[in-house]
Amino acid sequence: MTAEKVRLGAIGAGWWATSNHFPLFRDHPDVELVGVCGIGDGLEKVRDKFGFGFATESAQELLDADIDAVVISTPHDLHHDLAAEALERGLHVLCEKPMTLKADEAWDLVRRAETAGTVFLVPYGWNYKPFTVTAKRMLDAGAIGEIQFVSCHMASPTRGLFGSDPTHMLERWNSETAPNPATWSSPEHGGGYAHGQVTHSSALLFWLTGLRAESVAGRVTNAGAPVDLFDAGVVRFVGGALGTISGAATLADGDRYQIDIRMHGTEGVLMVDVERERVTLSRYDGRRESVEIPPGQGDYECLVPPVRFIELITRASTENNSDVTVAARSVELIDALLRSSAAGGAETAV
């Protein structure tokens, strides 16, 4: 890239795009908002509010415009085809999570991204927190040796979101556009806690550790909702490590999000706890470390990933903490978990 601005297009103009991504890109000095693609009567209002050059209901028109990059914030089941078309055009891609719903689609995007040689980022906010970055550096430096076992649990106050009542989410994010129940509480569109939330915790796990799932024996339950609210699985990883993955949508509204990842290795144990804001290392040789974390840093926000996307394009940064491969490993784990549950909990290869 030269000193010219990144010419950005956007596909999807709903709740998350308008409450998080578009304000950041509008205010970024290195971004020109070329066009926005969406549906509904409010599209022109979105265009005018954020300063897009044009608005269209045609994804093809948007992708064929003179743009360098695209942000995809559509319903989950549309991600693969749109991202694939963008990569075919040589565009940089920021694609919302989950990147896809099926493992084969995820790895197809990995191959396409490698061929295109462009930036591909999936905006997982916790992967960019200073304390998780510190934990990653500790692991990369061999702080716990070879990983033998991991536990990865997530819980959040999202029972209404997956049960078709997004009121709490609107209050939390102060958005003018409601989350669409057709995305979050519809099995056909990839709704449910696994795709909607375990995607966060598993992507954090895979980025931290570099592990990849080999097989999963899992169960999910809906507890009266149209999609899964509770998820649990036993995971075998490539190389022999064992682990557990779990999630629950039913924290009380206003409770802090929970992600608790514990990694046991040949030389010690590292714990990352976003709710209580702790990163602790306990080595078998007696060494102990605790990372100092300012209060509130564990709360979820997604301010860094969209900015990092632009920095990667302009080469102001080289650190992509949630690239296409990390996202694909998350997708294949969740895909196998859901297939295993549908098969009665049988061990299922990714």
3-state secondary structure (DSSP) of residue 269 = strand
Structure confidence at residue 188 (pLDDT): 86
pLDDT tens digits, 239-249: 999 999 999 99
Q: Which of residues 77, 107, 125 is at a domain's end?
A: 125
Enumerate residue ranges in the chain where pLDDT < 70.
1-3, 164, 166, 168-178
Report the C-alpha gap between 67 and 293 in whole angstroms.
39
Cite the beta strand spans of the chain per DSSP E: 6-11, 31-37, 54-56, 69-72, 92-95, 120-121, 147-155, 213-221, 230-237, 242-248, 258-265, 268-273, 278-283, 288-290, 348-349
* 90 and 233 both lie in a single domain: no
Q: Which of residues 83, 98, 125 is at a domain's end?
A: 125
Residue 25 lies in a domain: yes
* 112 and 196 both lie in a single domain: no
Task: Give residue 179's identity as a one-letter amino acid code.
Answer: P
| Number of domain units in the chain | 2
Residue 95 lies in a domain: yes
* 118 and 237 both lie in a single domain: no
Residue 306 lies in a domain: no
* 68 and 30 both lie in a single domain: yes
pLDDT tens digits, 29-64: 999 999 999 998 899 999 999 999 999 999 999 999
Structure confidence at residue 180 (pLDDT): 74
Residue 337 phi, psi (nearest 5): -60, -45
* 82 and 182 both lie in a single domain: no
- Residue 211 belongs to a domain with what CATH number? 3.30.360.10
Structure confidence at residue 164 (pLDDT): 67
Report the C-alpha gap between 177 and 278 in whole angstroms.
34
**Percent of the chain whose predicted confidence (pLDDT) is above 90:** 89
Number of H helices, E strands in the chain: 14, 15
Residue 316 lies in a domain: no
pTM: 0.96
Residues 6+ apart with CB under 8 A from 322: 121, 122, 123, 124, 127, 128, 203, 207, 305
Structure confidence at residue 176 (pLDDT): 63
Report the C-alpha gap between 277 and 226 in whole angstroms.
33
Alpha carbon distances (Å) from 98 to 121, 184, 207, 262, 263: 12, 12, 15, 23, 24
Report the C-alpha gap between 87 and 328 in whole angstroms.
16
Residue 313 lies in a domain: no
Radius of gyration of the chain (CA): 20
- Residue 77 belongs to a domain with what CATH number? 3.40.50.720
* 72 and 220 both lie in a single domain: no
Q: How many CA atoms are closer than 13 Å to the CA of 140, on its beta-carbon side?
A: 9
Identify the CA nearest to 163 among candidates 230, 226, 231.
226
* 76 and 152 both lie in a single domain: no
85 lies in which domain range? 6-125
- Check if the beta carbon of residue 8 is closer than 8 Å to that of residue 37: no
* 102 and 140 both lie in a single domain: no
Residue 310 lies in a domain: no
Count CB neighbours of 70 within 10 A: 29
Q: Which of residues 78, 106, 125 is at a domain's end?
A: 125
- Check if the beta carbon of residue 113 is closer than 8 Å to that of residue 120: yes
Alpha carbon distances (Å) from 2 to 81, 213, 293: 29, 40, 37
Strands 147-155 and 242-248: parallel
To 5 degrees, how large is the angle CA 137–CA 139–CA 142? 110
* 101 and 133 both lie in a single domain: no
Structure confidence at residue 166 (pLDDT): 67
